[in-house]
Amino acid sequence: MRIPESLAPLVEAGTIEEVLRPLMSGKEAAVFLVRSEGELRVAKVYKDAHHRSFRQRSQYSEGRTVRNSRQRRAMAKGSRYGKALLEQAWQNAEVDALYRLHHAGVRVPTPYEFTDDVLVMELITGLDGEPAPRLFDIVPTRTEALSIHKHLVRQVVRMLCAGMVHGDLSEYNILMAAEGPVIIDLPQATDAAHNRNSERILLRDVRHLGQYLGRFAPALRRTKYGPEMWHMYKEGTLHPDSELTGKFSRKGPRVDTNSVIEEIQAAAAEAAKTPVSGYRAKKERQLAEVQAAEEARAAQGVKRKGKGEGKGEGASEGGGGKQRRRRRRRRPRGGESR
């Protein structure tokens, strides 16, 4: 086939001997089947950073340090140069994660070469020797679904013990190799200890596995492997071979409310016995004086209001009587009119 422009430098350098065919293409990268060092491998070509969004990446990139202050400012502004730096960091994160997890015993593709935005790594094959299908592309039986889920949970534990969380673990990022599931696509892999979002991301990954494979083995939907392994990780008791039950409850021991109340009352009594400092006594005295003055003014206002209401009523009654007497005087006498 025609050699893609992005792979031409590696072909000229002899890193890739032959480009056979494209395997798949997504938003992040395009993958090609190539021959390198006499064996079949894959070449992952990352797409142009300027045509993609970086909005969703912040939750994964938290905790990744950038020492150069100029580069850090450019990345924060989102300039063209900054986006290029973000893309480079995104690619480097996947390469670093592959090496780190491969060393920790997690089943991921073996990386061989990374240069010029191209990552050359192991070709994962299925039972027929062809490139392995995704988990999404197969229909497992109930027994197979349980086995796949058990294997993947163990891989997630190994990742967490290595201090990493995948971040996008789904049926699309798992290849079904001849020897079992293989986890791929790790640019969003995050540091479990330094990212505040790591717990939520891990729980989402594990929950998604249970929900998808629960279509074939419904009992998996009720498991709680995520909270269980995260709790053990925080407690420092999680190991690559730790036994998990899939059951977890956040309920702690019952609180003895009577004892708590007694403690509060004892503390209050103890505080009452403590001598009051001169400054505090002065402030309390001033506050009491202010409160007493406010109460006196309020009481005086009520008293004046009561007196004013009494005078008003008497004046209205007296005025009414005089008017009636005046009207009687103006009224002519009957004898005079006749």
DSSP class of residue 6?
T
* Helix spans in the chain (H): 8-13, 58-61, 69-77, 80-103, 142-161, 198-213, 225-235, 257-273, 278-330, 334-337
What gap in Å lies between CA 303 and CA 293, rounded to an integer? 16
* Catalytic member of 48, 117, 185, 241: 185
- The verdict on whether 185 is a catalytic residue reads yes
- Can you tell me which residue has the tokens 């009687």? 328
Cβ–Cβ contacts within 10 Å for residue 279, how many? 8
Instruction: Kindly name the residue from 96, 116, 117, 168 that is annotated as catalytic.
Output: 168
CA 214, CA 171: separation in Å to the nearest integer? 12
Residue from 113, 110, 109, 148 nearest 132 by CA: 109
Burial of 66 (C-beta count, 10 Å sphere; 0-12/13-18/19+): middle
Nearest 10 degrees: CA dihedral of 129, 210, 156, 160?
160
Residue type, 88: Q
Whole-angstrom distance, CA of residue 12 vs CA of residue 100: 29
- Taking the C-alpha atoms of residue 151 and residue 179, their distance in angstroms, rounded to an integer, is 11
CA distance linking residue 7 with residue 24, whole number of Å: 15
Cβ neighbours of residue 228 under 8 Å, at least 6 residues apart? Answer: 244, 245, 246, 247, 248
User: Residue 237: which of 161, 165, 152 has the closest Cα?
Assistant: 161
Q: Which of 26-35's residues contact partners 24+ apart within 8 Å by CB, and which partners?
A: 27/52, 28/52, 28/185, 28/187, 30/4, 32/4, 32/7, 33/123, 33/131, 34/7, 34/120
Q: Which residues contact 71 (CB under 8 A, 6 or more apart)?
A: 82, 85
Active site residues: 168, 185
